[in-house]
Amino acid sequence: MSLFPRRPDTGNAGRNIPLRVNFFSLRTLPGTVIYHYTVSIVPDVPPAKNRRVYKIWEETSRAQGALRGISPVFDGRTNIYSAHPLPFDGPQAVFFIDYFEEDEFPRLPGPAPVSAKRFPKKFQMTLTKTAQINMQRLNAFLDGLVTDTPHDAISVLDVLLRHRPSLVFTTVGRCFYTPDSATSIANGAQLWQGFHQSLRPARGQMLINLDVSATAFYQPGPLVDIIARLLGKNNGSDLRGPISDKDRAKLEKSLKGVKVVVIHRGQIRRKYRINRFTTTSANRTMFPLNDSGSEESVANYFLAKYKRQLAFAHLPCAVVGDPARPVFLPLEVCEVLEGQRHLRKLNERQTAEMIKFTCQPPHIRSNKISAGITLLQQHDNDYLRDFGVQIDHEMATISARILPAPAISYHPASKEPVITPREGAWNLRDKMVAQGITLRSWCVVAFGGEQDYPVTAIQKFVTLLVQTCEECGVFVQNKQPPISYAHPFGDVERTLIDAYMIAGESYQERPQLIICILPNTGVPLYAEIKRVSDTVIGIATQCIQAKHMFAAKRQYCANVCLKMNVKLGGMNSYLSSVQLPFVSERPTIVLGADVTHPAHGSSSSQSIAAVVASMDAQCSRYAASVRVQRGRHEYIQDLSGMMIELLKTFYQTCAAKPERIVFYRDGVTESQFSDVLRREVEAIRQACIELEEGYRPTITFIVVQKRHHARFFPIRKEDSDRSGNVLPGTVVELGVTHPFEFDFYLCSHPGLQGTSKPTHYHVLFDENRFTSDSLQELTYRLCYLYCRATRSVSVVPPAYYAHLVAARARFHASGEEIGPMDSISVVSGGSGRRTSPQPGQQPQPPSAVVGGMVGSSPNGVSKRFSMSSMRSGALGNGGVVPANLDVGARTITYSPVKPELARVMYFM
């Protein structure tokens, strides 16, 4: 039985429009019964080879008439489905298949020499009758008559629709690729375009969701040329000198495990997998010729054995085969096999080229999708015909609605204090932030030399930034902050501590902000700056790329001003209480949560869970809590403890207990819905009970999904923006959503480039009894409150912030396991009240860096970053703070905080 709430009603808010969607209807479904067989193939091989073994069996059986016209389908692992009983007696049948290994890769033209002929591999395939699947249950589910999802019936259709494409195309997950569209990119890789295909149930019908996809493969061809491209050369002829140890290490990291074939033995093209590269060149790499112990170089051996003078004898050899008995191959006799997926992370240039390759405007994307359904599911598909399935080759047309944009409020002293955005975007012209901070003590650190960043250029940027801030209502008292320089590869911690001291000495007050000017690239530097500023010093930092500083415009400075203001306790904009009735009528806390896992190939075994919570009636200020937890677990393991922290902070901030909780949960797949819902709602309930016996606020739990392939295409020009995308506020709740559960798609952001991706919201638990209109409008309006931009965003901000918090917390690991820093708490935006903002009042600087919330050290003593006079002492990393600085009437001292005790983080 379904655990999740049914759709309460059909929404009416907004303007109705027609849309085309990348879903294709199955006009007819299979009959009443499908026959299920399990298959066992011995010896055990990967799914790709399993399919080739199955294909040989199917073609042989069809040629011999043994299948009697039946077309069963295979999932590549253990399941075969058939619309008719397979013609063999008894519960089980055994078949023996001859499989020739050389069929796996192409041969040179001409007859194969005797030495190239190999004996076939013998495979045994055993089919066992398993079950009969009732397909009528699927029809009842689609009509909403039963709530149990018939996963077995849906699996039958999924295997049926994937069977033929899997035999023809290169398969990666749910995507099918072909080299026909291959495009070379930097460093020996190429991009293949393909199609993602999945099966989705909707009201009264099953739909194929088809979308264009792209992924990186290794460039096939001579290994020497691939290596040249990896090293930034055009081709192998540019590799005239030996390869350095650094370059060799780079090659091993990039090419380890890649399959190659040898070309020096004529038509005998054996394939190998690269293990490593030799530290010596081919003319200096020695190996034993025989048991006598005599040795020969690889270059001389190839000259004597194959009459082949190596042109690249100065390059290392590829080491292949069994590590106990390695084989040395000169690079020039190896070719990289086609169709090998590039699993390693793409570098910056490759990523940029991939974005350019995949960024397609809506009309081009829709045309490719329409062509894709014919390519994957041809009209003459015998398997579909045998199962009685027909596919509509035209995209589905559905009804959608465009919700009206909210009115955004700024400071009443603005020339334009209230604005209704058009197409999801607006600007700061004639507007002042709702609550602006006063910036007094700050400084600038340029990570580079004065020759890279002249003082005059920095001062010019600072002047423009200060002017822009004051126009926007952020007041800067110290208009000429101290400027210092630092080596980008130097000691960042020492640099920021020195800058902190200089800023305090300059203005005789505890510094509020350090602006860091960074080289145009440098993620490690950025990460280290955030680690030190968040967990060692406890000060806000604003990083700026040098290229933006040199070409600074007012619009860029205005965006920087928005970030600075919220980091230091201000509020940029808000929506009136009339526009957020659910939040403003009764004390309500809106939360976002996310769990990020270690990247593919990372040595880390830890995941990071982050939860953020609104702290005012405008949903403009948020607190956050972070935990490090065991890796690869999607549910938040200490959600109860995190909720206790956030609920306490809400009460301290708003002087009220939340009566209602809205929980936006990011990053959960459909297979995890039930487990995550059960564990996390129970944890929220437990937190409430621990705070007060009988405290039971009503909860709504909503999963936020961006990893899907639904795309919408406007039919009428007036329903699209300038890029041809759907307008912000486009909501879809019928036609391509769940047959009866409460979910909807919302495209809340303006299209900038490519085709907009809507966000899918699925309600898993609802005690607040939302109507479709009330939840959709709340979610959409919140998307206009992302504090760092003057445009609506694609994901509801609490979920967006949770993702930012988790990403920032990973920086705090400093490249290693995070260790004892198992929790972090933060308030962003200072102390808020559950009333309309008072724009005329400038909030006082918070006593803690971002609003007064701090954690506790293990001995229970509260750790605050203060201006109190303290003796200089050791930093968390063993550094020494300079002696107290006498700056006029008072003494300023940096208060040391060890990283594992720090609880302040600027995630905005």
Mean pLDDT of 244-256: 94
> According to the model, what pLDDT value does residue 343 have?
86
Strand partners, 251: none
Q: What is the reported pLDDT for 117?
A: 47
Average pLDDT, the chain: 86
CB 562 within 8 A of CB 468: no
Q: What is the CA radius of gyration of the chain?
A: 32
Q: Do residues 525 and 500 lie in contact, with contact meaning Cβ atoms separated by under 8 Å? A: no
Spatial neighbors of 532 by CB under 8 A, at least 6 apart, are: 492, 493, 496
d(CA 243, CA 376): 45
CB contact at 8 A, 595 and 601: no
Instruction: Extract the tokens encoding 209.
Output: 């969701």
Coil, helix or strand at residue 878: coil
Give the Cα separation of 761 and 776 in Å (integer).
Answer: 9
b/e code 517-529 from CB counts within 10 Å (16+ = b) = bbeeebeebbbbb
Q: Do 164 and 72 contact (CB within 8 A), yes or no? A: no
The helix/strand/coil state of 354 is: helix
* DSSP string across 669-735: -GGGHHHHHHHHHHHHHHHHHHHSTT---EEEEEEEE------EEESSGGGB-TTSPBPTTEEE-SS
In this predicted model, what pLDDT tens digit does every residue of 693-730 receive, in sequence order? 999 999 999 999 999 999 999 999 999 999 999 999 99
Amino acid, single-letter form, for residue 306: Y
For tokens 């020494």, the residue is 880
What DSSP line would sit under 164-181, residue for residue? HHHHHSEEETTEEE-GGG
345 confidence band (pLDDT: 50, 70, 90): confident
Residue owning tokens 């677990």: 633
Query: Please, which residues have CB within 8 angstroms of residue 351's CB and are 6 or more apart in sequence?
Result: none
Q: Which residues pair with 296 in a beta bridge?
A: 287
Q: What is the pLDDT of residues 361-412, one digit of tens each?
A: 999 999 999 999 999 987 789 999 999 999 999 999 999 999 999 999 999 9
Q: Are 344 and 185 in contact (CB under 8 A)?
A: no
Cis before 47? omega within 30: no
Mean pLDDT of 758-762: 98
Q: Please say if the pLDDT value at position 808 is more than 80.
A: yes
**Burial class for 173, CB neighbours closer than 10 Å (0-12, 13-18, 19+):** exposed
Q: Of 11, 209, 13, 17, whose CA–CA distance to 727 is shortest?
A: 17
Q: Do residues 24 and 210 touch, judged by C-beta distance below 8 A?
A: yes
Q: Where are the beta strands (DSSP E) in 570-676?
A: 574-575, 588-596, 606-614, 622-630, 660-666
Q: pLDDT tens-digit profile of 668-693?
A: 999 999 999 999 999 999 999 999 99
Pick 303 or 871 by higher pLDDT. Answer: 303
Q: Which residues pair with 123 in a beta bridge?
A: 97
What are 703's strand-pairing partners? 665, 762
CA 514, chain centre distance (Å): 29
Question: How far is 725 from 716, CA to CA, in rounded Å?
Answer: 11
Residues 6+ apart with CB under 8 A from 858: 901
Instruction: Give the pair of three-digit tokens for residue 72.
Output: 């069963």
Asked whether residue 891 carries a pLDDT value surpassing 60, the answer given is no
Q: How many residues does the chain have?
A: 908
